[in-house]
Structure 1
Amino acid sequence: MASFINRLFGGGGRTRAPDRPAEGAEPPATERKASRAAMFAVSGLGRPVWTPRDYTALAREGFQRNAIVHRCVRLIAESAASVPLMLRDGRREYDDHPLLALLTRPNPRETGAALMEAVYGHLLIAGNAYVEAVLLDGAPRELYALRPDRMQVAPGPDGWPAAYDYRAGTQTVRFHQSGDVPPILHLRLFHPADDHYGLSPMEAAAVALDIHNASASWNKALLDNAARPSGALVYAGPDGANLTDAQFERLKQELEAQFQGVANAGRPLLLEGGLDWRQLSLTPAEMDFMEARAAAVREIALAFGVPPLMLGLPGDSTYANYAEANRAFWRQTVIPLVRRTAQALAHWLTPGFANAGARGGLTLEPDLDGIEALAGEREALWRRVSAADFLTDDEKREAVGYGRRTAGGPRERH
């Protein structure tokens, strides 16, 4: 049993009869093709060049080339993927269930944490994440994360997605959204102007991202040019004469060979023959690159919901402030993301486990007791509840999230 990715590129996994494709998908051709080339935009002279609002450009300019975005995405994705999930049926909590086993080992090649880290990463970079369910007899048996830049929504007559087309090179497979468990789960962040696709935090911070990257490129070019700002060599020859072509080329070659680069930083410039060096008025101090970079970092962190203190931004970094920033990060960014993703997974997958002994509707929730960053809050709550002499033991259990004590019954939690 394997996903479309394995079938398309000949990957391993559990075996499946060659003539039995995954439910809701058409078998792709066996020809192997390279991925499509990215598109580049060229702007006119003197106009700002902004990163295109597409997944490939945002992934390249943000996650791959910008340390702040890279750290924000990894910090959120890894933290969210580490949160344990609880499966409940009303107040009853399951320790052993086929759905939990599927989320723990979603496919032969990945662990549950690796799959969810990829899902969260796609969601943060593209604003969309797609999970494929490989079904057997109507029940999900394997889960795979699909690249969002290769997926396209195929709306039905009512405007809702009726199918999803996954393209890799020249090959396409269509997943029809039918059955109790549709083959594709589409997770998306809120987009006020799009009915089918989500808005990435990186897209909202694209201007700050471009400013941060441009300032880094400027500083790199500054080092390559002897750590000096650009200037002008003015030739004041006799009677207004100009340099000949040969003299101009010789002067340019000598400047590049002897005065550019880090190795030549601080080397004195010897001028002759009426040459005069005049520094241009636009200097790094006037443009205030360091302040612009710090402001860009704050805007990027704000878009992702990561406290700037956690990114090492200069400022007050006492232990108390960092601990508060860490709790705010978990409470305001990570836990809401995990909770909405867990709800979407439960809504999508639980119809496939209707015969697994559940009494009611199954729900997935983050287990806050398993989050080390919130251990201090939990300890303070237990301390306050334990000191409340006016509460009974059952009331104290309910106050901290556990059900009443029942002798010999199933474990219950609120």
Structure 2
Amino acid sequence: MGLARSIAGWLGAAARPPDAAAAVRESGIEPASSTGPSERKSAATVAGTLVFAGSGEGVWTERSYAALSRSGFMQNPVAYRSVRLISEAAAAIPPVLYDGPDELSEHRLLDLLKRPNPMMDGAAFVEAICGHLLLSGNAYVEASFLDGALRALHLLRPDRIRLIEGGDGWPEAYEYRAGTRVRRIAAEGPGGGPGTLLQLTLFHPLADHEGYPPLGAAQNALDLHNAAARWNRALIDNSARPSGALIYKAEGGGNLSPDQFDRLKAELESDL
């Protein structure tokens, strides 16, 4: 995913003083960077005829961050475990920092990555980033400055972010909505430098600035798995007895003859 490289490049540029950043730009050198199954039952009153009606087309869950989170991560054990395995594996890799060929064991950026903010340690921070990428295709990291120095890194929920494009088609700003409050975050900092918000994306073949979540490609399989689980639960609750009603009405209010009744009963028992 290039997660470490993206964050490292952004932090390196953001932490550089404005005059140094301008010097780098002028030099032309870029910095490193319980309910049962849904059924529709109907009975038709046709003289002397039995009519069976089935359900219509299946209904698929929409592909959105909220839908994938609820139907996938929060309800499906396979999806939950898959996301956790990938996130935990990425978080288990310790961050490293180099000054040229020399590896640094102490640096303020290493301290920041070990404790990005008061509510999260480094492992939880990386796990959350991976979770956002897998469920949304996008992850947003906001840098907080105090007295001109980078002090904390915070994650913003992808479903609360709206990207605003400029006239040239490139990101101009990000709109962050929390409840009734809306905050606008510039895509670039003063003088064209890096902004305070870093967007991480996965490849999306049909979007310029948005990522596509891997779990979105598995949405149909998730729906089938969840529907099968609900159906099996409903079948167990009903003692494995099929539900429904068979109604026959002949002209003149007649009933089935004993031979017709026995034959229909035998066919239903053999089929169901």
- TM value normalised by structure 2: 0.70
Give the deviation of 1:73 after TM superposition.
Answer: 0.5
Give the deviation of 1:114 after TM superposition.
Answer: 1.1
Q: Of residues 133, 143, 149 in structure 2, which corresponds to 1:133?
A: 143
* C-alpha distance in 2 between matches for 1:108 and 1:199: 30
Partner of 1:156: 166
Partner of 2:197: 184
Q: Of residues 60, 64, 73 in structure 2, which corresponds to 1:63?
A: 73
Partner of 2:225: 212
Q: Of residues 73, 79, 85 in structure 1, which corresponds to 2:95?
A: 85
Give the deviation of 1:209 after TM superposition.
Answer: 0.9
Query: Which ranges of structure 1 fall in alignment gaps of 5 or more residues?
Result: 1-44, 243-272, 284-414
User: Is contact 2:95–2:113 with CA below 8 Å preserved after alignment?
Assistant: no
* C-alpha distance in 2 between matches for 1:213 and 1:70: 13
AA of the residue aligned to 1:125: L
Partner of 1:53: 63
SS in 1 for 2:96: strand
User: Is contact 1:56–1:149 with CA below 8 Å preserved after alignment?
Assistant: yes
Query: Which ranges of structure 2 fall in alignment gaps of 5 or more residues?
Result: 1-54
User: Is contact 1:230–1:279 with CA below 8 Å preserved after alignment?
Assistant: no
Which shifted more, 220-229 or 56-65? 220-229
SS in 2 for 1:85: coil
User: Is contact 2:235–2:241 with CA below 8 Å preserved after alignment?
Assistant: yes
User: Is contact 1:126–1:198 with CA below 8 Å preserved after alignment?
Assistant: yes
* C-alpha distance in 2 between matches for 1:158 and 1:137: 34
Mapping 1:4-403, distance limit 5 Å:
46-179=56-189, 180-230=193-243, 233=246, 240-241=254-255, 276=265, 278-279=268-269, 281=271
Give the deviation of 1:178 after TM superposition.
Answer: 2.5
Q: Which has the higher contact order (CA 8 A, sep 6+)?
A: 2
Give the deviation of 1:205 after TM superposition.
Answer: 0.8
User: Is contact 1:123–1:200 with CA below 8 Å preserved after alignment?
Assistant: yes
Partner of 2:45: none
Once the two structures are superposed, residues 378-414 of structure 1 have per-residue CA deviations (whole angstroms, 9 ceiling, x without a partner) of xxxxxxxxxxxxxxxxxxxxxxxxxxxxxxxxxxxxx
AA of the residue aligned to 1:107: N
Give the deviation of 1:233 after TM superposition.
Answer: 5.0
- TM value normalised by structure 1: 0.47
State the number of aligned residues. 208
Give the deviation of 1:160 after TM superposition.
Answer: 1.5
* C-alpha distance in 2 between matches for 1:195 and 1:181: 19
Give the deviation of 1:280 after TM superposition.
Answer: 8.2
Give the deviation of 1:183 after TM superposition.
Answer: 1.1
* C-alpha distance in 2 between matches for 1:225 and 1:145: 46
What is the CA RMSD across the aligned residues, in angstroms? Answer: 2.6
Identical pairs, percent: 53
